[in-house]
Amino acid sequence: MDVEPKTLAAGTPATLAGKPVVANSRRRYLVWGEIVIVFLFLELALWAPTTQVRNRWAAILSITILAFVLIDARFDRWRLKRLGLGLPKLFGASVTIGIALGMAACMLLMASWVGERIPANPTWFPNLQSAWGYGLWALIQEFILQSFFFNRFEELYGSSAAVWIASLLFAFVHLPNPVLTVATFIGSLFFCEMFRRYRSIYPLAIVHAMLGLTIAFTVPDHLLHHMRVGIGYLRY
């Protein structure tokens, strides 16, 4: 279900009911400018030649996203509900986690059926401590994907189109890792659709971490390269 329409500052609708809501070309250019800047910083954080430079771009990326989100919140464009930062509803969270459990079970069954060793990567498969760290990273990724990118594409093109556009972008940033590129495109269609319907990133972070760890549990490292993307995948 889509969120009920409200009104933005300057009379722009805050929610979309499946339709774009950009009120004027100036706002459209501003939204696209934010998307391009953040995407550029994201790619620099993934493809810079050294770890030090990548970390520097990652810090710039984080500050930029927070600044853009806070600016929009300051002008009352996006409240916590639309950002997905409000508390999740029990029904939406149950649906999201239930479907994800089914997806994880299917991956385990498929790996067993093709004869893969499980766990596929016993020498580096995350322990409990690193699994918690990955859960936090999953929350950050969902904030970037949903609270930043999805919301902007939704404003530009409507909620249904935003599901596909945001998913394609999220898959693109996982290149050149073939497993994660395909998996994140399929996963993002699910994540974005659940966000569109239920508007909370917290259940999505749980299922993102669950499915990511299942991939690490079932796909051998000669394909995953320690789940690296960007220049890290090529230098593995």
- CA 60/CA 116 separation, integer angstroms: 40
Give mean pLDDT, residues 161-179: 97
The answer to whether position 87 is within a domain reads yes
pLDDT band of residue 3 (cuts 50, 70, 90) is very low
Q: Is the pLDDT of residue 10 over 50?
A: no
Q: What is the CA radius of gyration of the chain?
A: 18
Give mean pLDDT, residues 2-26: 54
- How many separate domains does the chain show? 1
The answer to whether position 180 is within a domain reads yes
The answer to whether position 177 is within a domain reads yes
- CA 114/CA 112 separation, integer angstroms: 6
DSSP secondary structure code for residue 7 in this structure? B
- CA 143/CA 134 separation, integer angstroms: 14
pLDDT of residue 78: 66
Give mean pLDDT, residues 106-131: 84
- What range defines the domain where residue 149 resides? 9-234
pLDDT band of residue 23 (cuts 50, 70, 90) is low
pLDDT of residue 114: 86
Give mean pLDDT, residues 110-135: 83
The answer to whether position 1 is within a domain reads no
The answer to whether position 4 is within a domain reads no
The answer to whether position 2 is within a domain reads no
